[in-house]
């Protein structure tokens, strides 16, 4: 694998590879260009902020080292029409100044909610920043989504990507220990967006990193209620009025959370009396096995997204709190205009002894892999 630094303000890299198609009489070869474009677009706290475009000749992913951010995913529909399928702002510099609900961001040090921002670790109490009612959410007031990560671009014959690192000092947002995190985001020739997190610490701490992209496979023209979802999930974790898990792990059978056969989202939201903002259980115990967990179809456009993860849960969020938001291209985003599939440890796990532990100790490595695979069904 070849790594490249960002000494130049603008750099374009490409690799041509030959892909064999099914032969008729003689093999036909098609040239596919993998490309990275890296452009410095701003500075934040004295550090350069880059806008990246990853292109495999069929789809593009736009991202930034500010917030470990995915700003756009551009994929074709069944007629070959390319459209962005993520809720976003008009430019990367706008993320530096405009408040937004974690569009495309890396959430950490601990994604999701911690009840009242309090926990105990090795007998010592800790208090975190409160930024969601009386609770702590997605790392606090200045979480990983507002940090400039140190980037490197890389490429080989089958992928293009950006590697980013961020070191969170002891005490940041109230968390113990110096945490060094590394994030890889890469695009393959097979139209797969891969995300990998790794982290190490110098003292016991808690970690739960994820990506918070809002998807809309219809191309951001209206809400996502017509999308079809299938989850390979037998259970979910119910929540209280503050969206903190109660500690129960509940069977989905006979509930609106049962997506084990394909269901239209709007029908399930109606059955649930509102949107979803819940942890769907992927595994009961941690393991390195990648699991096909979610399939989403948009029948009108033909776009399909399959999600794979090695984590224990996925937060399924249907943009319940989005209202009259001025998004990109002059489009106003409203309730249910997007959905998030946040691969994660279960919320408030540090305060729930029966939940998988989020604790990371010195000498251990936190590892988390996610894949979003895009395709078209006609």
Cα–Cα separations (whole angstroms), residue 192 to 31, 187, 199: 19, 6, 23
pLDDT of residue 5: 42
For the four alpha carbons of 126, 128, 134 and 139, in that order, the dihedral sign comes to: negative
Give the model confidence (pLDDT) of 196-247 as tens digits: 999 999 999 999 999 999 999 999 999 999 999 999 999 999 999 999 999 9
Domain ranges of the chain: 2-376
| Residue pair 365/200 in contact by the 8 Å Cβ criterion | yes
pLDDT of residue 1: 52
Beta bridge partners of residue 295, listed in sequence order: 230, 306
Give the model confidence (pLDDT) of 3-43 as tens digits: 444 433 344 554 433 343 444 444 444 556 899 999 999 99
Q: Residue 91: pLDDT above 70? A: yes
For the chain, percent of residues with pLDDT exceeding 70: 92
Strand, coil or helix: 41: strand
Cis peptide before 109 (omega within 30 of 0): yes
Q: Which residues contact 375 (CB under 8 A, 6 or more apart)?
A: 191, 303, 304, 306
Cα–Cα separations (whole angstroms), residue 105 to 138, 139, 288, 303, 327: 10, 12, 24, 23, 15
Task: Give dist(CA 106, CA 64) in Å, integer.
Answer: 11
2-376 CATH? 2.70.98.10
Q: Residue 265: pLDDT above 60? A: yes
Q: Residue 131: pLDDT above 60? A: yes
pLDDT of residue 332: 98
Task: Give dist(CA 305, CA 300) in Å, integer.
Answer: 14
Q: Residue 359: pLDDT above 90? A: yes
Cα–Cα separations (whole angstroms), residue 139 to 108, 113, 117, 209: 5, 9, 10, 9
Q: What is the DSSP letter of 202?
A: S
| Residue pair 376/302 in contact by the 8 Å Cβ criterion | yes
Among the listed ranges 22-31, 153-162, 235-244, 302-311, which one has the minimum average pLDDT value?
A: 22-31
Task: Give dist(CA 231, CA 297) in Å, integer.
Answer: 12
| Residue pair 267/219 in contact by the 8 Å Cβ criterion | no
pLDDT of residue 32: 61
pLDDT of residue 13: 52
Cα–Cα separations (whole angstroms), residue 315 to 86, 171, 346: 17, 27, 8
Per-chain mean pLDDT for the chain: 93
Strand, coil or helix: 11: strand
Hey, which residues are catalytic here? 212, 342
Closest residue by Cα to residue 66 from 24, 23, 97, 30:
97
pLDDT of residue 33: 82
Q: Residue 133: pLDDT above 60? A: yes
378 pLDDT band, cuts 50/70/90, is confident
């Amino acid at each position: 694998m070849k790594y490249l630094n960002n000494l130049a303000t603008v750099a374009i890299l490409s690799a041509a590879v030959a892909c064999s198609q099914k032969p008729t009489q003689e093999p036909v070869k098609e040239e596919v260009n993998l490309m990275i474009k890296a452009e410095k677009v701003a500075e934040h706290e004295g550090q350069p902020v880059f806008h990246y475009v990853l292109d495999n000749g069929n789809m593009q992913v736009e991202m930034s080292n500010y917030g470990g951010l995915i700003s756009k995913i551009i994929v074709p529909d069944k007629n070959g029409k390319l459209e962005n399928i993520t809720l976003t702002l008009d430019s990367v510099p706008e993320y530096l100044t405009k408040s937004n609900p974690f569009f495309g961001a890396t959430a950490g040090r601990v994604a999701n909610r911690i009840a009242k921002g309090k926990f105990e670790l090795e007998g010592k109490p800790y208090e975190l920043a409160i930024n969601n009612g009386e609770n702590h959410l997605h790392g606090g007031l200045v979480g990983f989504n507002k940090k400039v990560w140190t980037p490197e671009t890389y490429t080989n014959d089958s992928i293009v990507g950006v590697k980013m690192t961020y070191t969170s000092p002891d005490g940041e947002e109230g968390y113990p220990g110096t945490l060094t995190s590394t994030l890889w985001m890469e695009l393959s020739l097979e139209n797969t967006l891969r995300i990998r997190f790794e982290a190490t610490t110098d003292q016991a701490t808690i970690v739960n990193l994820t990506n918070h992209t809002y998807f809309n496979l219809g191309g951001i023209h209206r809400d996502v209620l017509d999308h079809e979802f299938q989850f390979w999930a037998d259970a979910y974790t119910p929540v209280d009025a503050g969206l903190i898990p109660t500690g129960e792990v509940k069977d989905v059978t006979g509930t609106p959370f049962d997506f084990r056969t394909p269901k239209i989202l709007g029908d399930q939201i109606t059955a649930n009396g509102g949107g979803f903002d819940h942890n769907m259980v992927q595994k009961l115990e941690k393991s390195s096995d990648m699991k096909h967990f979610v399939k989403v179809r948009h029948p009108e456009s033909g776009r399909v997204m399959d999600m794979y993860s090695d984590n224990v849960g996925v937060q399924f969020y249907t943009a319940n709190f989005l209202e009259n938001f001025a998004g990109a291209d002059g489009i106003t985003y409203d309730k249910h205009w997007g959905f998030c599939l946040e691969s994660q440890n279960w919320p408030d796990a540090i305060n729930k002894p029966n939940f998988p532990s989020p604790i990371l100790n010195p000498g251990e490595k936190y590892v988390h892999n996610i894949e979003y695979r895009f395709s078209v069904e006609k």
